[in-house]
Structure 1
Amino acid sequence: MTTTPQLTVAAPGTDHRGPVSRRERALAPDLIRGAMLLLIGLANSANFAFAGQPGVESSPHGFERVLNFLKLTFVDARAYPVFAVMFGYGLVQLARRQRAAGATTSAVRRILLKRNAWLIAFGGVHASLLYFGDFLGAYGVVGIVCTLFLVNRGDKFHRIALVIWAAMAVEVLVVAGLAVLAVGNSSGPVQALTNSPNPSLAATSYVAGLADRLHEYPTHLSSVLPFIVIVWLGIWAARKQLLENPATHRALLTRVAAGCLGITVAGGLPLAFVGAGWLHVDESAIGALNLLSHTSGMFGGPGYVALFGLLVARIQNRRSLPITAISALGQRSLSGYLFQSVAWMALLAPFTLDLRFGSTAYTAALVAIGVWIASVVGAYAMSRRSYRGPAETLLRRLVY
């Protein structure tokens, strides 16, 4: 049996309300964030284990071929766009709750700007101390831009996002055509898929890694800022409340899931075959296939989100313990994300436990799954005690 969300009214003399209560939360966004942290973990743990990107075994044997294939098809360049969509969705949800509580337009903007400014700070600390591949700072920068120029626009304006995505689909087709030509013309020496090294991940001391991270982070930050287009799609979806009422939008979600996941999987398969050692091409062709993989990977964001929306439409009124626990992690996704970086540093860095033994691909996958399960259990325990999570608690105190 469903209940009608209760909106908290701002107290007299205030122009905003506090953070969202547990009763107000929709299942789909939390389940998506919690589940997709597993894919984020599989990507980032492999980067730590191989001290480079994309974090695959260059000379795979046996089941390593399958691991490379699955990672390149379903994870790499496909996990982070999900969180970009959900970030845009969350911006609209936060603004809507504030307005429903009586906050003025200027107050809503002030809260959003303050929250995103703190995300930039969180990202800078995270990237400096733990992992250069931070996305929190980029979310903060993009969130400020969206707050100033996108969040308060009308529906007609936001249709531009759909036009952009249609153009991106055409771009994928063009890149795919170029990739086919590159593979067909592949005549140079056969090149295996290798990892681009990241000095901070290979550093033999924490101080050396810290210095490297300070150099690597600005470059990484600037390279991921274009995901504002993905965030914009999340803003459009939130205005339509697609995830609050997934059953009502089942037809649209089905089309998005089928179309976007079809694009992202098809675009990732050629590079996955190379990574698995089942397709042999030269260096030029690998570059073309890598571009195709990343270009098509953006469609994994809306594709995975729509898929989970359809799942929630089926299980909305019969939540099992695993669904509840994973959703609890989604409610604490900021803490879960930062916990992963602490775990990679403690378990995989050369100057800590350095658990990279035997097959590095196996180790990375097992560590990622183990850390994710531990975070699900921990989040569920926090939920049982009505504790929001350390990072969420700190951020909300700073913002509110």
Structure 2
Amino acid sequence: MTVSGVRGTASPAKRVLAPDLARGGMLLLIAIANTPWYLWGRKLRVSTIHPPGGSVFDRSVQVASMIVVDFRVYPMFAFLFGYGVVQFLTRQEAAGQARPGVLAQLRRRNLWLLAFGFVHAALLWQGDILGAYGLAGLLLARLFLHRDDRTLLTWSAIGSALLTLVTLISVVGAYLAAVAPVPPEMAGYLSLGIAGSEQSDPLAAALARLTFWPVVSLGQGLIALALPVAIVLGFWAARRQILEGPGEHLPLLRRVAIIGIAIGWLGGLPHAAAVMGWLTIPPESMFVFEVTQMATGLPAGLGYAAFFGLLGHRLSGRRPGPIISAVTAVGKRSLSAYLAQSVLCAPVLAAWGLGLGAHLHSASTAGYAIGVWLFTVAGARLLERGHLRGPAEIALRRLSRRPHPRTEDR
């Protein structure tokens, strides 16, 4: 999910480059992360949706995805989601609207995000993230938007510490599972997640997707902690206007970018090594990587956001070229682009559609994902030339407006 759905009515001239550029670019990685879930009809491996076998190129794509993409992109979007909420609140209050009314509009937006997510899962994509952002937005806005900066940082630190503690406990659990006389049976969520792509009957596929959707919405939105921490840090960063004025925060942005991305990429190496067979881990202990990937994905996502802040500073004062303009156009309409990815992937790859996911592997699927992203870039560029919003952004904006009271009959 993106922040563009909650950014209000700022004119293009007033928009900050970095968030739109980040969302537009990272939607490519979203497509690459999501499309492996459509590779149905083959045996699942433990701890990863990436299929076994394949060419050297396929395996290289899988390694790169596990290190750079998996569990690393959504925390960045969560950070930008929180950032956009505060931007919206600030702009509306500056325009003279009372805070209670603005907060009510934010609640309606988050409720509609939940509704969008439900329909998205029912029709197309079981891994929908809109519900997670809507749920987290409802809770975190109520708990933290009125708190001071120290409270935001304190609770972010607490959430990060809890995530680290859970990771350490998981490592111990993985060790105990490895040395247990009778290895425990590990029931993962991967088979449940891919069921929506494997079902050839459209109704059965929809039921499978809706069964998995609450796991994503609750798990990633709240329980896994990475997204809530990223959202709260987005609240804090927006108050400091870090992306509006990156030149005043260059040391912080550089530290977060270098340290965060380094932790994320190094943290993904053991998982990739274990899946590729370079590191021997018993199958009953592989569950640990589902936790370590989330824990190291949080700093990676924050590092990606900081990187785009630095890139925005580098490009400030310059006339954006055609590539930057096109990617930024996607970022401005990222909710529409995110939904368009499912429209272009699910009916083509899933068993209930054309079923091509059974015949592709990692490299070819990544190529298809790149093509889907380029299609959304072209569409967003056309809308930008016409000064038009994305259709999903228009729908969310209209639905979130305060309903007009009925006039009494006279």
Q: Give 1:217's aligned residue.
A: 213
Aligned with residue 119 of structure 1, among 110, 113, 121: 113
What is the letter of the counterpart of residue 41 of structure 1? A
Q: Which runs of 5+ in 2 are unaligned?
A: 1-6, 402-410
SS of 1:249's equivalent in the other structure is helix
Q: Give 1:312's aligned residue.
A: 312
What is the letter of the counterpart of residue 100 of structure 1? A
CA separation of 1:18/1:168 partners in 2, compared to 1, >3 Å: closer, same or farther? Answer: closer
Find out whether 1:55 has 2:49 as its counterpart. Answer: yes
Q: Give 2:17's aligned residue.
A: 27
Cα deviations by residue, 1:11-30 (Å, 9 ceiling, x for unpaired)? xxxxxx96222122100010
Q: Give how far 1:138 is off.
A: 1.7
Give the distance between the partners of 1:130 and 1:185, measured in 2 at CA: 42
Q: Give how far 1:281 is off.
A: 2.5
What is the letter of the counterpart of residue 25 of structure 2? A
Give the distance between the partners of 2:312 and 2:143, measured in 1 at CA: 32
CA separation of 1:357/1:245 partners in 2, compared to 1, >3 Å: closer, same or farther? Answer: same
What is the letter of the counterpart of residue 29 of structure 2? L
Number of aligned pairs?
380
TM-score by length of 1: 0.87
Q: Give how far 1:356 is off.
A: 3.3
What is the letter of the counterpart of residue 297 of structure 2? G
Q: Give how far 1:40 is off.
A: 0.8
Q: Give 2:398's aligned residue.
A: 397
Find out whether 1:46 has 2:36 as its counterpart. Answer: yes
Q: Give how far 1:333 is off.
A: 0.5
Q: Give 1:343's aligned residue.
A: 344
Question: Is the Cα contact below 8 Å between 1:46 and 1:54 reproduced in 2?
Answer: no
Cα deviations by residue, 1:129-170 (Å, 9 ceiling, x for unpaired)? 111211112211211112222112222222214423662585
Question: Is the Cα contact below 8 Å between 1:178 and 1:288 reproduced in 2?
Answer: no
Q: Give 1:290's aligned residue.
A: 290
Q: Give 1:234's aligned residue.
A: 234
TM-score by length of 2: 0.85
Aligned with residue 202 of structure 1, among 184, 190, 198: 198
Q: Give how far 1:179 is off.
A: 9.0
Question: Is the Cα contact below 8 Å between 1:328 and 1:383 reproduced in 2?
Answer: yes
Q: Give how far 1:278 is off.
A: 2.7
Q: Give 1:6's aligned residue.
A: none
CA separation of 1:22/1:211 partners in 2, compared to 1, >3 Å: closer, same or farther? Answer: same
Question: Is the Cα contact below 8 Å between 1:186 and 1:284 reproduced in 2?
Answer: no
CA separation of 1:188/1:294 partners in 2, compared to 1, >3 Å: closer, same or farther? Answer: farther
SS of 2:317's equivalent in the other structure is coil
SS of 1:20's equivalent in the other structure is coil
Q: Give 2:68's aligned residue.
A: 74
Q: Give how far 1:268 is off.
A: 0.8
What is the letter of the counterpart of residue 62 of structure 2? N
What is the letter of the counterpart of residue 28 of structure 2? L
Find out whether 1:157 has 2:151 as its counterpart. Answer: yes
Q: Give 1:361's aligned residue.
A: 362
CA separation of 1:231/1:41 partners in 2, compared to 1, >3 Å: closer, same or farther? Answer: same
What is the letter of the counterpart of residue 273 of structure 1? A
What is the letter of the counterpart of residue 35 of structure 2? S
Give the distance between the partners of 1:195 and 1:218, measured in 2 at CA: 12
